[in-house]
Amino acid sequence: MTFNVKDINSKPEMTGKALLAASAAVLWGISAPVFADSRQDNDSDSVDLTDSRISGDFDYGVCRGTNPNCYHDWVGAGRQNKVLVYTRTAGPRHANLGPALPAGLNPPLDPARHIVQTNLIRLLNAEGIAVDWTEDVTRVSNLNSYKAVIFASTSRDALWNHSVGGQVHNAFGTEYNWQYYEGLLGNANYYDHGAFQTGVVQIINDRDVSTAGLPARWTFSDEWYNLVPFPTKVRFLALVDEDSLETKHSVHPGFPKFHPVAWCQYYDGGRAWVTTLGHINTAFTAGSALPGAAEFQKMIVGGIKSAMGLEPFCQPGSHDSHDDHDKDRR
């Protein structure tokens, strides 16, 4: 998930806690959520996904939702065209992160093992974006020089020296007991997943920069995270077609017909772009033979750039005239 960085040191409850913004692919930004009525086009209109009895909707006491008025440019032009990739784990560690990194900023990377870090650097450098990387929590106490922080498959209490950022993949397995972080994810949290398997990603908003130009449906392989609570007041961008998953019933319940894998929101003055995808090495590598890898990489780059403010952020889709804008938290 990707999170647009703002000055969090002015907030006592956030002192020292750097939430990294992961431009979707488990890396990225902050915004306020809204449910696109495109869910009705996916046979889910019989279920009110915003009903707090099933969504677990929580009042985080911040401005959040899809209304751009929730954004505040705290630092302004002082930020560099640069992001911070944060991959600290305090629990399960995905193989594509490679061995734990030593303390400090920009420690040595092994391209054959630190797949996520190396390829995020490659993808973003190609866009003219500088990248720092770390697993040292002391390096996330002052983020004012960065336009976004990317949480890439962090896990458990990875931000014990608490500050602000964004998320990719297992960033959803991070800071379970910190409500503010859960709000950053869109009032969502990791519940479980089934077998690693092939499924079909369905784009439900093709007007956002992260999804524009992608096929309406494309094959990809992942763990397809189930979420509890379910995201609320966000702008959904992509789903997995539940009918394309072989083990959805025998291994995990999944969602009836609306299983989101990417969304965006404004959150407490920042921008957050979020994706649950990105489990396997080949999702990130150049020239990958994995079906859907090119689409996935294009999506996360677009999400990160929008969270940075380099591209329009969290753009309405064709069905957004029915979004729940009036339900944004103030």
Task: Quote the Cα angle for 165-325-218, to 5°.
Answer: 65
Residues 6+ apart with CB under 8 A from 257: 42, 43, 44, 242
- pLDDT score at 10: 33
- Kindly state the DSSP code that residue 305 receives in the 8-state scheme: H
Instruction: List the Cα angle 189/195/196 in 5-degree steps.
Output: 90
Least confident residue range of 56-65, 81-90, 153-162, 227-236: 153-162
Ranges 189-193, 234-238, 322-326: which has the least confidence: 322-326
Alpha carbons 248 and 155: distance in angstroms, whole number: 24
pTM: 0.80
Average pLDDT on 263-271 reads: 93
pLDDT at 241 over 50: yes
Check whether 325 has a pLDDT greater than 90: no
Domains, in order of start, for the chain: 2-327 (3.40.50.880)
Report phi then psi at 54, rounded to 5.
Answer: -115, -20
Residue 254 has what pLDDT? 64
Q: Which two tokens stand for residue 238?
A: 């992509």
- Bigger pLDDT: 74 or 17? 74
Decide if 98 contacts 71 (C-beta within 8 A): no
Question: Of 256, 196, 257, 265, whose CA–CA distance to 237 is shortest?
Answer: 265
The average pLDDT across 127-151 equals 91
Residue 125: phi and psi, rounded to 5, are -60, -35
Among the residue ranges 55-69, 260-274, 276-290, the one predicted with the least confidence is 55-69
Q: What Rg, from alpha-carbon coordinates, does the chain have? A: 17
pLDDT at 165 over 60: no
pLDDT of residue 11: 33
**In this structure, what are the phi and psi dihedrals at residue 269, rounded to the nearest 5 degrees?**
95, -5
User: Coil, strand, or helix at residue 208?
Assistant: coil
The whole-number pLDDT of residue 3 equals 57
**pLDDT at residue 170 is higher than 70:** no
